[in-house]
């Protein structure tokens, strides 16, 4: 993709033209976001006609900033359709068919269609390329059988990015294909899976004789891993790179808690103040590192260095909420929300303290979801620093001969 030059001023002008036509404070989410897409302001680095202008991805920040200046209503990509926008769109653009680009991208951006990622299986998490879900060709369809797990948002998704094995005799990485699955297809069963707060944010997805039209394959048969890498690289950047405003996000919440602290002894306060300040430094540096990465970002998909932010974000976030519990003090013995087994309610938390208690628990997943911290360290060591990999026994043998967990 060739990058077109465009001045910041012109970009701002285009945003104002969009706002004159459709203003988020006055029209619906679908309408506003649809118009934003049509103006090429959804993902500015995407080609024209697909929600972009073919300009540098750096300029997306200018678009977002200009919208914030003029509107109260701001939609966060990572809230309205995290998987669709963060991972689905770049995957469609890079490996999708013309039909997919034409018919899916706009509705991803507006969040009319929620997406989910059907990669992980009970036996294949970090080693997603070891997955066992089978797809067998039958005329102009593929028939899929298997089980996926930890599938976030599957219960509200229209589309799923499905990775399945099409050739068990081939080495693991070359025997997979990547499909677009309509979750309303017969044979797809979504069962809630509860996490440690009691909420069922993710699911188990059972696939029994699910028929997928052959043209819903990304790239070609056997190229699933290549497509999956695009999805995964974008996932890491979406998670780690979603840096918020200065002093916003988790660290902002910690600072607010700190300001409202009560009952701490002077000595505890001295110790915790240093901890809070240290976390602030790290949060600021994570934000600045993400900004620096974005400034250097070329068109196209992110590389392995995206794991820097993903790793740092995960580990930092856990520590921020641990610290928050210490600032809360004895009251952290209580969990007022209760462990209700239910779907995430989407309601916001009544108090800062309630949010912190939830996040203290929820953040434990940060170093697991989207690739574990251990896997991120392997990627940084091997792909970025060029250190030798571990000896592998699972690479050049047929997948079916590799030992695996049930």
Partner 1 sequence: MDFEFTPEHEELRQTVRRFLERESPEARVRALMETAAGYDERVWKRMAEELGLPGLVIPERHGGAGLGPVELAIAMEEMGRVLLCAPYLSTGVLSVYALLQVASEEERGRLLPEIASGALIAAVALPPQAGSGDGACRATREAGAWRLDGSAGFVIDGHVADVVLVVARTAEGLGLFRVEGGAAGLRRTALPTLDLTRKLSRLEFSAVSAAAVSAGDASAGLERALALTIAALGAEQLGGAQRCLEAATEYAKTRLQFGRPIGSYQAIKHKCADLLVEVEFARSAAYHAAFRARAGNDAEAAEAAHMAKAYCSEAYFHAAAESIQIHGGMGFTWEHPAHLYFKRAKASAVLFGDPIHHRRELARQIGI
Ligand X SMILES: Cc1cc2nc3c(=O)[nH]c(=O)nc-3n(C[C@H](O)[C@H](O)[C@H](O)COP(=O)(O)OP(=O)(O)OC[C@H]3O[C@@H](n4cnc5c(N)ncnc54)[C@H](O)[C@@H]3O)c2cc1C
Binding site for partner 1 (CB under 8 A): 120, 123-127, 130, 149-150, 193-196, 198, 262-265, 267-268, 271-272, 318, 325-326, 329-339, 341, 357, 360-361, 364-365, 367-369, 372-374, 377-378, 390, 392-394, 402-405
Q: Which is nearer to ligand X, 63 or 162 (CB)?
A: 162
Using CB under 6 A as the binding rule, the residues of this chain from 128 to 167 that contact ligand X are 150-152
Candidate list 284, 369, 382, 394; residue touching ligand X; CB under 6 A: 369
Q: Which of 215, 235, 284, 382 is catalytic?
A: 235
Q: What is the DSSP string of 231-295?
A: HHHHHHHHHHS---STT-HHHHHHHHHHHT--S--HHHHHHHHHHHHHHHHHHHHHHHHHHHHHH
Q: Which is nearer to ligand X, 89 or 375 (CB)?
A: 375
Nearest residue relative to ligand X (C-beta): 125
Give yes or no for residue 193 binding ligand X (CB under 6 A).
no
Residue 403 binds which of ligand X, partner 1, none (CB < 5-8 A, kind-dependent): partner 1
Going by C-alpha positions, the residue among 27, 94, 99, 39 that lies closest to residue 66 is 39
Candidate list 36, 81, 117, 197; residue touching ligand X; CB under 6 A: 117
Q: 221: Cβ–Cβ under 8 A, 6 or more apart, which residues?
A: 166, 177
Give the three-class secondary structure for 76.
Answer: coil
Long-range contacts of 166-169 (CB under 8 A, 24+ apart): 166/134, 166/135, 166/136, 166/137, 166/142, 166/221, 166/222, 166/224, 167/222, 167/399, 168/134, 168/398, 168/399, 168/400, 169/398, 169/399, 169/400
Q: Is residue 159 a contact partner of residue 81, using CB atoms and an 8 Å limit?
A: no
Whether 269 sits among the annotated catalytic residues: the reply is no
Smallest distance, Å, CB 171 to partner 1?
A: 12
Q: Which is nearer to partner 1, 149 or 228 (CB)?
A: 149
Residue 116 binds which of partner 1, ligand X, none (CB < 5-8 A, kind-dependent): ligand X
Smallest distance, Å, CB 372 to ligand X?
A: 3
Give yes or no for residue 237 binding ligand X (CB under 6 A).
no
- Give strand pairing partners of 143: 136, 211
Residues known to be catalytic? 235
| Contact footprint for ligand X (CB under 6 A) | 116-117, 119-120, 125-126, 150-152, 202, 365, 368-369, 371-372, 374-375, 378
């Amino acid at each position: 993709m060739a990058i077109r030059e465009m001045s910041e001023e012109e970009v701002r002008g285009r945003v104002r033209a969009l706002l004159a036509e459709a203003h988020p404070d006055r029209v619906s989410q679908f309408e506003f976001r649809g118009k934003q897409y049509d103006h090429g302001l959804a993902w500015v680095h995407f080609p024209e006609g697909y929600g972009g202008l073919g300009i540098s991805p750096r300029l997306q920040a200018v678009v977002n900033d200009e919208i914030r200046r003029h509107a109260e209503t701001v939609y966060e990509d990572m809230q309205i359709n995290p998987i669709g926008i963060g991972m689905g769109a770049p995957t469609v653009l890079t490996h999708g068919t013309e039909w997919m680009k034409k018919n899916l991208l706009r509705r991803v951006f507006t969040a009319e269609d929620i997406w989910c990622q059907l990669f992980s299986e009970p036996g294949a998490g970090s080693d997603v390329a070891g997955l066992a879900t089978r797809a067998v060709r039958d005329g102009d369809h593929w028939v899929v059988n298997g089980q996926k797990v930890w599938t976030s948002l599957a219960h509200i998704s229209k589309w799923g990015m499905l990775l399945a094995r099409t050739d068990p005799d081939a080495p693991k990485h070359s025997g997979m294909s990547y499909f677009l699955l309509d979750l309303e297809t017969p044979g797809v069963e979504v069962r809630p899976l509860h996490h440690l707060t009691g909420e069922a944010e993710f699911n188990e997805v059972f696939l029994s004789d699910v028929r997928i039209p052959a043209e819903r394959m990304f790239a070609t048969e056997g190229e699933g891993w290549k497509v999956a890498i695009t999805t995964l690289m974008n996932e890491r950047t979406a998670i780690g790179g979603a840096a918020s405003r200065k002093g916003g996000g988790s660290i902002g919440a910690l600072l607010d808690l700190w300001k409202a602290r009560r009952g701490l002894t002077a000595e505890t306060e001295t110790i915790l103040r240093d901890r809070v300040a240290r976390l602030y430094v790290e949060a600021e540096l994570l934000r600045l590192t993400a900004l620096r990465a974005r400034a250097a970002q070329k068109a196209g998909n992110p590389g392995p260095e995206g794991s820097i932010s993903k790793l740092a974000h995960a580990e930092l976030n856990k520590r921020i909420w641990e610290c928050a519990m210490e600032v809360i003090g004895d009251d952290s013995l209580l969990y007022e929300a209760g462990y209700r087994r239910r779907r995430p309610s989407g309601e916001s938390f009544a108090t800062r303290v309630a949010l912190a208690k939830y996040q203290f628990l929820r953040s434990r997943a940060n170093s697991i979801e989207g690739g574990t911290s251990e896997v991120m360290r392997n990627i940084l060591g091997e792909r970025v620093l060029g250190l030798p990999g571990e000896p592998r026994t699972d690479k050049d043998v047929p997948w079916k001969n590799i030992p695996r967990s049930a």
